Each structure stands twice: as C-alpha cells, then as structure tokens.
Structure 1
Amino acid sequence: MPKPDTTALPNDLSTLDLTSGSEAVDSRLNPAQMLSLIDSILPFEACLYHEIIPLSVESSCLHLGMVNPTDTAAIDYARKQVSFIHCSVVSWPISSDWQRKMLSKYLSYAARTKPKSQAPTSHLSPQAPPTDDELLTFIVDSP
C-alpha cells in the first residue's frame, strides 16, 4: 500500500521561510495578511516600485516594511492607499533582498492560487463575413 503524501500543500504558508533577520519585523509579519494586502490594498507593482511590503495590520495600524524608511513618496503612497480603511502607517526597515524575496514568494503564491486568465481579447470585434445583401466597397486614393 502506498504511503500517504505528507508534503505540504502548495498554498500552505507555514512552509515558506519568511524570516527577515530582524526580530522587530519578524514579530509583526503575518504572511496571510501580507498576501491579502498585496492583493487588495498595496498592489505588487507599487510594492516593487516603492520598495515596500505590507507586514500586517494591527489595531488600525499598517506595519509596512520599507527598504528606505525615509522615502516620503513611498510613505505618502501607502498612507493614501490605507486611508480608506482608516489605518495609520508605521514603517520598519527591511533589506532590499528580503523585500524582493517576499515579492517573489507572493508571485509564486498568486500563480498557484489565482485562476489563469483567458487569452487577452482584442478591443476590436472580429469582422463577420459579408452577407449576400451587403456590397463591399474598395476605396483607392488618387495620387
């Protein structure tokens, strides 16, 4: 009889190595919230551009990992994004490598959990073949 498969499911976040090397950051990291916040509040592209990563939300406070905690544009962007859920932002310094590693893990997670989108559709509708009652017109520009 074959042994049961005891490997973790691909969506099991407990199997991911998420340690940042900073006890302060690690204690505030909530992987499920991080993934959800990237999906809903702070999009992947913005996290990549501003070098930020949402760590968690606690008591109306977004804990935000930042490669450069003094980057006012990044902080302003994050504040604007979380203002509609009535949260303030507290920044925590993180390394650039760890931020990119977390975004890579997010992409892996998203690829496994989100349904694959259909092929992109053209904004132009395909032309239907002419019917018998339609006359085709060929226009030639004169020189």
Structure 2
Amino acid sequence: MNRRHQKKLSHRLFAAIAAGDAARVRAVLRSGADPERPDGEGARPLYEAAVNGKAEIVRLLLAAGAAPDTESSGIGAEGTPLCAAACWGHTETVRVLLTYGADPNLREDDGTGWSPLEWALRVPHPETVELLVDAGAMPHGGTL
C-alpha cells in the first residue's frame, strides 16, 4: 500500500476514533489502516482512544495489532495508553488494556514519569486503583 493511501486511512482512523464510532474504526482497520501509525504530531491511535475512555475502540485497535505499551508523543497526547486511561479513571478501558498485556508498572516518559497507579492515586480513582493493584501494579516505594 502506498504512503499516500496509508496516510488517508490514518486520517480516517483518527476521525473515527474522535467520533467514537467503533463501526467506522473497524471498517478503516479492515481497509488496511495501521493501528500503530501516529498522526503528524506523534499521537497514536491507541492513546487517543484510551485517554477518551473508548474501551470498545481500544479493544479493536489492540486486536488489530496495536502495542499496548507504546508511548504517544503528540502535543498534549504524551504518555502510555494505560497511564492516560488511569489518569481519567476510565476503568473499563484500563481493564481492556490490561487484558491485552499492558504493563501496570510501566512509567511514562521512557521510564522516568508516573506509573498508571500513581496517576490513579493522585486524581483519585479508587476503582481504577483497585484494578491496577489486582493486576500487579506496585506503588513507588512499595506501599500504598
């Protein structure tokens, strides 16, 4: 598939994610859109779906091959999908990411930033905290 066509598919994928339209996301992925391809600023599809709590779309992207722990680097969209979902208390999205192998202890910013648990504790989102701890998340320093 040529670069121009892939770029068009990527734009369609991001538009479908922004609209929260799982059926359109599914169709664009079936058309060959790369679930890992970042937009022009570095934001990744999985991050965009996770930060907005779109669990069904997160599931579609992961099933299509998006890596659960790949950091996004877009302006205002920096970090891991799991940290983004945990920060906003999107518990179902956190559950989906963990099911697909997201690391509950992976810190953002190439390992120097906050972990999903730290985000969930600081806001706070107790249900998300519980889910992360049950998945093996360890607080910095070892105690909650």
Q: Please indicate the TM-score interval, normalised by the length of the shorter structure.
A: under 0.3
Q: Using structure 2 for the length normalisation, give the TM-score.
A: 0.27
Higher helix proportion: 2
**Taking structure 1 as the reference length, what is the TM-score of the superposition?**
0.27
> By percentage of residues, which structure has more strand?
1
Between the two structures, name the one with larger relative contact order (CA 8 Å, sep ≥ 6): 1
Pair member with larger Rg: 1
